[in-house]
Amino acid sequence: MTWSAVLLVTAVVWAVSVIRSVRLRALVYSLPLPMTLALLTTDYRVDGAQVLGVLGLNLFFVTVAVTHQLWRWPILLADVAGIAVYVALSAGLLAVDIPFEVALAGALVLWLAAILWLRRRARRSAGTRAAPAEEAVAVAETRPDGLPALLKLVVIFVGAVLTQLLGAVLRGMVVTFPYSGVLVAVEARRQLAEFSRHFARNSLALVGFLTAYHYLQDVSSAAALGAGWATFAVVAAALHLPLRPRQVAHARSASRPPRALRPATERQAPTGLP
């Protein structure tokens, strides 16, 4: 365990805790800062297991979301369940030798399938349920969590130490261990489902980071990290490009209430000059 890792995890979770936008929270959390520090402070190589470890990050948040929001488990117990799933997946990945190209192809296929499924589910849930959901998110984002800022910082720091100790037993999978994710899940507990959806999309940029690092790690760690961060930035920017005009118009029309529910002044067309 290094104090630099603890401080980095604390900084990431603190940043997430003060951000109100769920989309921006997911983007900040997806920055490969803990991965970079783990690669700098250990001699582990990036192979197929680490690429599939990004799927483990997604499974961690899905497990926490299901156990906490659907099964009503306390958030800390849900965190433990998420860690157990990640550790179990890591043990299975470390037990076999997975060629990097095979793991990369599998990760890309699974990512595309997950994104298509999430989009289909979002379209089905649009409509009458959209407004209540948005109101619930707005209320949750403005609701205080009751912890003073200094106390929250102490809790985050202690949690960072504990998660760093646990991550140290995972050998090569320490690279993708959800150090800050354990605490981020607590901070984003009221929007876990939405947070998980945004992070699932951003995880493709993490796959790009690991892929670039893998192919340059035998050259030098500095070149590999530079290429990794550049690839992450390009993929993340592509994932967050503005929607095309047709998609924007469709999204606006989907969020607009039915004509029968609009105010009478909005339904009436102008009949003449004022």
**pLDDT for the residue numbered 262:** 52
- The string of pLDDT tens digits covering residues 188-229 is 888 999 999 999 999 999 999 999 999 999 999 999 999 999
For the chain, what is the total number of helices (H) and then of strands (E)? Answer: 13, 0
**pLDDT for the residue numbered 241:** 85
Please state, for a pLDDT cut of 70, what percent of the chain lies above it: 78
CB 78 within 8 A of CB 61: no
The one-letter amino acid at 183: L
CB atoms within 10 A of CB 49: 26
Tokens of 126: 């649009």
Q: Report whether pLDDT(236) > 70.
A: yes
Q: Report whether pLDDT(248) > 70.
A: no
d(CA 203, CA 207): 6
8-state DSSP, 71 = S
Q: What is the helix (H) or strand (E) element at residue 6, kind and residue range?
A: helix 3-18
Tokens of 142: 């403005």
- The string of pLDDT tens digits covering residues 139-149 is 444 444 445 66
Q: Report whether pLDDT(245) > 90.
A: no
**pLDDT for the residue numbered 139:** 43
Tokens of 98: 């997975």
Q: What is the helix (H) or strand (E) element at residue 156, kind and residue range?
A: helix 149-167
**pLDDT for the residue numbered 166:** 74
CB 48 within 8 A of CB 99: yes
Q: Report whether pLDDT(169) > 70.
A: yes
Mean pLDDT of 31-52: 91
CB atoms within 10 A of CB 261: 10
**pLDDT for the residue numbered 138:** 44
**pLDDT for the residue numbered 122:** 80
The residue ranking higher by pLDDT, 108 or 256, is 108
Please state, for a pLDDT cut of 90, what percent of the chain lies above it: 49
Least confident among 12-21, 121-130, 194-203, 225-234: 121-130
**pLDDT for the residue numbered 196:** 93
The residue ranking higher by pLDDT, 18 or 134, is 18
- The string of pLDDT tens digits covering residues 180-190 is 888 899 888 88
Q: Report whether pLDDT(249) > 60.
A: no
Q: Report whether pLDDT(252) > 70.
A: no
**pLDDT for the residue numbered 270:** 52
